[in-house]
Amino acid sequence: MKKLNPQQFLAVRHTEGPLLILAGAGSGKTQVITTRIVHLIKDRQVPAENILAVTFTNKAAREMRERVASMAGKSSEGIIISTFHSLGVRILRRDIRSLGFKPNFSIYSSSDQAGVLRQAMRERNIDPKQCDPDSILWRISGAKNRLVGPYEFKPTSDDRIELATASVYPRYQELLKGFNAIDFDDIIMLSVKLLQSTPAILEHWQKRFSHIMVDEYQDTNASQYLLISLLAKLHGNLCVVGDDDQSIYGWRGAEVRNILNFEHDHAGCRVIKLEQNYRSTSSILDAANSVIKNNQLRTDKALWTALGKGREIDLIVAGSEEDEAAKVVESMLMEQFRDKLSWSDLAILYRSNSQSRAFEEKLRQERIPYVVIGGQQFYERKEVKDAIAYLKVIDNPSDEASLLRIINFPRRGIGDNTLVRLNQWSLEHDLPLFQTLARVRDIPDISESSKKAVEAFHAMMRGVMEGFKNIRMGEQVNALFNRLRIEDELYRTLNDASQARKRIENIEQVVNSLAVYEEQNPKGTLSAFLERISLLDEDKPNEDDKEHGRDAVTLMSLHSSKGLEFSHVFLVGMEEDLLPHKRSIEEDPTVAEERRLCYVGITRARRHLTISRCRTRRKYGAVEQRNPSRFLDEIPEHLLNSEGGEQQEGAKDSDSMAADFFAQMLGENSDQ
């Protein structure tokens, strides 16, 4: 208790009645939660088995249990510190018979779910080629998180996937029940259903938990909110901890109003704000406060620190994404040398995973170790491999692995049976597969429609190869991808617009990468470009090195960065249509969640923050002008390092940073 600041102390001591702890970034909330639990056990004499603490990840729950055990010893035995889903499983194992299941029910994995869904689709005569099963599962998951059952689900439009979901969802649930199985999203939905439908079961759990604490409350969805409300209703001793300014998961069902309305939903609620930050310098926090205060619907609070002002925030203005990557990596090398940092002290944070491409390439060129967290490396992504496969076949029609990858992408009616016959005929006649395509009329047991599709594909690729020149390669490839209508294929097969857009952005980056290569190598060839990519692939980090914690620079999306911290953070792509993202601007003109995402990114930095943006970016190879992010305008100029080339934008170019760095180093060593 002596280690707590005054507000933390108040939060620990308040143990009766509803309590809302608004815990800003880096304000020591985990210490408050664990100390509060120990205070309940040791000082308030609350039996450990009557205490429930809920969080979102197994890692957070495990760390909390270990801390409590180290402070309270054996007296903490019996306490439940778990994730929402672990709590739900505990409730269901005891009483799920009331819902017609056996206690030994199975929890199906995503692959098991897919098998059940496909069976339900077959029974409902729904073609998976027309309605993507993953998109249907995504809609079912969203419905369950909103506590919408299979017979309550109503299509919101005439969208094909919506209609298919309404048809399949009831049968999917029937099949699960027949297998005595539930899926991951059933855990909370069925727990709520059980408590609502059986008063005796609800009373048992309400009596069991006299004191309940919930961490990261701003991330709760409708079903989690109701589950906790039901359990806490008897005793009313509910403590929730969170920060509405860090609510960034609205796209997956989190409802920020759960924390904003908590005080109004619980009479007599005490509100305590934890505003002292133990992580960052005041320059970083002042920038974060200046951005987040522009959100209208939020609780009023402002982070502060006793750690001192620290350095100003560097702003890099680059000409292009390649220039941005070069300047960021150059700055990173200087920071690492000057401050004697480990590579793991450095992180590059971006809004969209497609942005990683330029940084990955530059880091590999400089032989700097890195890991990509929360996403595949750029050239390992399926849609990127598909796009590169087209380039490989154009360059080398004998590349049969690449040819087989693209022959039915986008889908053109060339099925597996046709591919088997083509391969067999190719082997029997010792003829390359690409040449075999031209002889499809000579091959038996292939349908007329498939023969026409093979002929059309072969003719198209022949035409592309004959017309392809090692000049304006980016434009030629862009024209090919437009002709293939890959965007339409992704929207049609995924039926999840956000996922489709992410994959389209990655394909754009392939065209951009080729265009940049061509610009930098006027005599370059497609073969040389593909060779360069292959060498980059050979240089990629080992699979064993992907675990976070290796001494390597971390690349990750802003969404993946929540809960983490780094000594030096590079927040890149601070531009309109990237941060805030174009899609979010269209959906919410106030861009409140995007502003919270920017706030999360800024507050990941402990000692220093660098922000970068581009004046231009490529879209399918074409150069587009870019505008600074509105969030950048919200940061006061005095917080930004405004020396260098673009003072009116608070920008510092890399030459100026290098000059300052070496001047500083010479000054430090002037006596040697």
Give the pLDDT confidence of 408-466 residue by residue, as tens digits. Answer: 888 888 888 888 889 889 888 888 889 999 999 999 888 999 999 999 999 999 999 98
- Better-predicted residue by pLDDT, 351 or 109: 351
Q: Yes or no: say if 312 and 283 are a contact pair by the CB < 8 Å rule.
A: yes
- Region 148-174 average pLDDT: 90
- Average pLDDT on 655-667 reads 52
Structure confidence by residue, pLDDT tens digits, 513-540: 888 888 888 888 888 888 777 655 444 4
How far is it, in rounded angstroms, from Cα 570 to Cα 259? 30
- Distance, in Å, from the CA atom of 527 to the CA atom of 284, rounded to the nearest integer, reads 46
pLDDT at 668: 47
pLDDT at 113: 85
pLDDT exceeds cutoff 50 at 512: yes
- For residue 534, the model assigns a pLDDT of 63
Is the pLDDT at 43 greater than 80? The verdict is: yes
Please state, in angstroms and rounded to a whole number, the distance separating the CA atoms of residues 430 and 416: 21
pLDDT of residue 241: 96
Annotation says 216 is catalytic: yes
Mean pLDDT across 173-189: 89
- Catalytic entry in 36, 327, 357, 604: 604
- Please spell the DSSP secondary structure of 504-546, one letter per residue: HHHHHHHHHHHHHHHHH-TT--HHHHHHHHHHHHHTSPPGGG-
Active-site choice (186, 216, 219, 399): 216
Please check the confidence at residue 643 and state whether its pLDDT lies above 60: no
Confidence label for 627 from pLDDT (cuts 50, 70 and 90): very high
Out of 29, 139, 144, 405, the active site residue is 29
Using the predicted structure, report yes or no on whether residue 644 has a pLDDT greater than 50. no
Percent helix, percent strand, percent coil in the chain, to nearest 5: 55, 15, 30
Which pLDDT does position 541 carry in this prediction?
45
Question: How far apart (Å, rounded) are the C-alpha atoms in residues 277 and 569?
Answer: 17
| In contact, 32 and 4? CB cutoff 8 Å | yes
- pLDDT surpasses 80 at 496: no
> Which range has the worst mean pLDDT, 179-188, 190-199, 552-561, 564-573?
179-188
Q: Are 241 and 32 in contact, with CB atoms under 8 Å apart?
A: yes
Provide the percentage of residues in the chain whose pLDDT is more than 70.
92
How far apart are the C-alpha atoms of 632 and 651, rounded to whole Å? 11
Task: Report strand pairing: 616-619 vs 622-625.
Answer: antiparallel
For 240, phi and psi rounded to 5 degrees?
A: -115, 140
Whether residue 604 lies in the annotated active site: yes
How far CA 273 is from CA of 12, 21, 64, 267, 593, in Å, comes to 12, 6, 21, 18, 21
Structure confidence at residue 524 (pLDDT): 85
When the pLDDT of each residue in the chain is averaged and rounded to a whole number, the result is 87
Over 80: is that where the pLDDT of 25 sits? Answer: yes
Tens of pLDDT, residues 580-622:
999 888 888 899 999 999 999 999 999 999 999 999 998 877 8
pLDDT digits (tens, 9 = 90+) for 363-396: 998 999 999 887 666 777 788 888 888 998 898 8
Out of 7, 173, 246, 554, the active site residue is 246
- The residue ranking higher by pLDDT, 136 or 111, is 136
Q: Is the pLDDT of residue 73 over 50?
A: yes
Whether residue 3 is predicted with pLDDT greater than 90 in this model: the reply is: no
Domains and CATH numbers, the chain: 6-93+191-274 (3.40.50.300), 106-179 (1.10.10.160), 304-369+551-641 (3.40.50.300), 379-538 (1.10.486.10)
What band does 217 get if pLDDT is binned at 50, 70 and 90? very high
User: For this structure, is 215 an active site residue?
Assistant: yes
* Least-confidence region, from 165-169, 523-527, 661-665: 661-665
Annotated binding site for ATP: 23-30
Q: Is 324 a catalytic residue?
A: no
Summarize pLDDT for 274-284 with one digit per residue, the tens.
Answer: 999 999 999 99
Q: 195 pLDDT exceeds 50? A: yes
Cα(103)–Cα(96) distance, integer angstroms? 6
pLDDT at position 536 is 57
How confident is residue 254, by pLDDT bands cut at 50, 70 and 90?
A: confident
d(CA 298, CA 598): 15
**Active-site residue, selected from the candidate residues 15, 30, 499, 590:** 30
Tens of pLDDT, residues 106-124: 888 777 788 889 999 999 9
